[in-house]
Amino acid sequence: MNLNQLAWRNIWRRKRRTLITAFSIGFGVMLAVTFTGSGDYTYTNMIDTGASMGMGHVTVEPVGYHLKPTLDKRLTGTKDLRERIVGLDGVSDATVRITGQAMFASARKSVGGAFIAVDPAFETEANNLLVRSLVEGELFARRDGRGIVVGSRLAKKLQVKIGKKIVYTTTDATGEIVSNIARVTGIFTTGEDTIDGILALLPIASVQQTLSYAPDEATVIAVLIRDQRHAESMRDAISVLPEAGDASVLTWKKSQPDLAAVIAFDKAGNYISQFLVGLLIAVGILNTMLMSVLERTREFGVMMAVGMSPKVLFKLVMVESFWLTIVGLILGIIITAPWYYFLYYYGIDFSDAFGDDFSYGGVLVDPVFKARLFKESVVAILGTLFMLALLAGLYPAWRAGRVPPVESLKTI
């Protein structure tokens, strides 16, 4: 009989105790999957939503624009650069945009706000949250047209409806005050009051003319990627494109620092929760293994008396911890699978409590609590719990081999 077989039989000596401990590990798996899965889902959702609000997962912009976004800074050759970027592996879309501050005036009111000038040919519901959030009208049909799409709160402030005129005034590339007129073609409601209250979409060609920009000049190329976790590598890939020249390439963490800070803070809380769960599990295993070792002191004495070395005895108890952990992890996978399936496909709807337009960190958050686990998260959960469980077995294993056999044999 080898150590593995002996350890396996030993852990089933006290079936109830082993099962309770295994269930505690399994419950830990379930909690870790819930915490991590909801984090993976929510953060991805927030990052993707944030990206579709204007700046993308990766932003190409003129040097210094991030710190001081004035319209005298601009990218040139945006058409060629966009085409190169769209051809990169992992890029789902890239859109050329001009972003800036503007004063909007209707026949009745004037309100300060911001605009994003877009090419309607490339803007879709998939890559633009504002297009996705249209509640009235439609996106202007032509890039050189005179349409404008405004947020519902901005429309309310300006007291405008579909078809009404708005004059927008901004500062051009040379610092001159310039104005243009546009007719409301659509109204969007994202649910985020700040966005709905200040933002408008304009046709890029019209804005380029207004600002005295050349046809391939813009302030931003917003790049959307298939997996937000690859933003850094995508930034590096874009930076080395010859067409990028000396343009500044930023990930969403730089272009949306508030969102990045909120996620980092939330993640830290999540890690602390998971650490505490892990600690509880480790204490449970420590308790089980310690009891198991203490009640077998005499038996260990016999084993050492007939020639088992303290090192092999240590190994035996560690192998017992290993099997206990494996049983717990398997049990954890079994009890977590239906729970994860439910969270993956259905989730828990908190819209009654938070409303449909719950925002966090400046972006809208899905009020349905769902979970999506990244592969690396699965490995991290199982790996961490496995290591914790083995660590918890170290002390009992060390203790088992430490008592001199003559003392062990005296115990009843």
Partner 1 sequence: MHSKVKHIVRMQDVVKTYRQGKVDVHAVNNVSLEIEQGDFAVLCGPSGSGKTSILNLIGGLDVPSSGQIWVDDVDLSTLDNTELSQVRKNRIGFVFQAYNLIPVMTAYENAEFVLNLQGVDEAECRERVMQTLRAVGLEGLEHRRPDEMSGGQQQRVAIARAIVTAPAIVLADEPTANVDSHTAESLLDLMQQLNREQGITFLFSTHDQHVMDRASRIIRVHDGKIDSDEVSH
The answer to whether residue 309 forms part of the interface with partner 1 (CB under 8 A) is: yes
User: Rounded CA gap, 330 and 242, in Å?
Assistant: 51
Question: 310-345 and 375-400 helices cross at what angle (nearest 10)?
Answer: 150
User: Rounded CA gap, 298 and 252, in Å?
Assistant: 62
User: Rounded CA gap, 387 and 396, in Å?
Assistant: 15
Binding test (CB under 8 A) with partner 1, winner from 311, 345, 352, 375: 311
- Whether residue 185 contacts residue 193, with contact meaning beta carbons closer than 8 Å, is answered with no
User: Rounded CA gap, 357 and 363, in Å?
Assistant: 10
Shortest distance, CB of residue 2 to partner 1, whole angstroms? 7
C-beta closer to partner 1: residue 217 or 320: 320
The answer to whether residue 405 forms part of the interface with partner 1 (CB under 8 A) is: yes
User: Rounded CA gap, 268 and 334, in Å?
Assistant: 28
Name beta bridge partners: 58. 223, 251
- Whether residue 154 contacts residue 104, with contact meaning beta carbons closer than 8 Å, is answered with yes
Q: Which CA distances in Å does 342 have to 19, 33, 205?
A: 25, 12, 47
C-beta closer to partner 1: residue 307 or 338: 307
User: Rounded CA gap, 318 and 277, in Å?
Assistant: 22
User: Rounded CA gap, 373 and 375, in Å?
Assistant: 6
The answer to whether residue 304 forms part of the interface with partner 1 (CB under 8 A) is: yes
Shortest distance, CB of residue 13 to partner 1, whole angstroms? 6
C-beta closer to partner 1: residue 6 or 280: 6
C-beta closer to partner 1: residue 137 or 310: 310
Rg (CA), the chain: 30
The answer to whether residue 302 forms part of the interface with partner 1 (CB under 8 A) is: yes
Shortest distance, CB of residue 23 to partner 1, whole angstroms? 23
Shortest distance, CB of residue 30 to partner 1, whole angstroms? 31
C-beta closer to partner 1: residue 125 or 407: 407
The answer to whether residue 299 forms part of the interface with partner 1 (CB under 8 A) is: yes
User: Rounded CA gap, 87 and 173, in Å?
Assistant: 30
In 3D, which of 246, 249, 266, 241 has the Cα closest to residue 40?
A: 266
Footprint of partner 1 on 131-190 (CB under 8 A): none
Binding test (CB under 8 A) with partner 1, winner from 137, 191, 310, 362: 310
The answer to whether residue 1 forms part of the interface with partner 1 (CB under 8 A) is: yes
Shortest distance, CB of residue 18 to partner 1, whole angstroms? 13
The answer to whether residue 226 forms part of the interface with partner 1 (CB under 8 A) is: no
Each residue 6-45 as x (binds partner 1 by CB under 8 A) or -, in order, gives x--xx--x--------------------------------
DSSP 322-364: HHHHHHHHHHHHHHHHHHHHHHHHT-EE-HHHH-TT-EETTEE
The answer to whether residue 404 forms part of the interface with partner 1 (CB under 8 A) is: yes
Among the listed ranges 48-56, 85-93, 297-305, 331-339, the one in contact with partner 1 (CB under 8 A) is 297-305
Shortest distance, CB of residue 19 to partner 1, whole angstroms? 17
Shortest distance, CB of residue 323 to partner 1, whole angstroms? 13
User: Rounded CA gap, 374 and 370, in Å?
Assistant: 13
The answer to whether residue 293 forms part of the interface with partner 1 (CB under 8 A) is: no
| β-pair type (110-118, 199-203) | parallel
- Amino acid identity of residue 379, one-letter, is V
Binding test (CB under 8 A) with partner 1, winner from 260, 294, 382, 409: 409
The answer to whether residue 298 forms part of the interface with partner 1 (CB under 8 A) is: yes
Shortest distance, CB of residue 16 to partner 1, whole angstroms? 17
Site of interaction with partner 1 (CB under 8 A): 1-2, 6, 9-10, 13, 298-299, 302-312, 404-406, 409
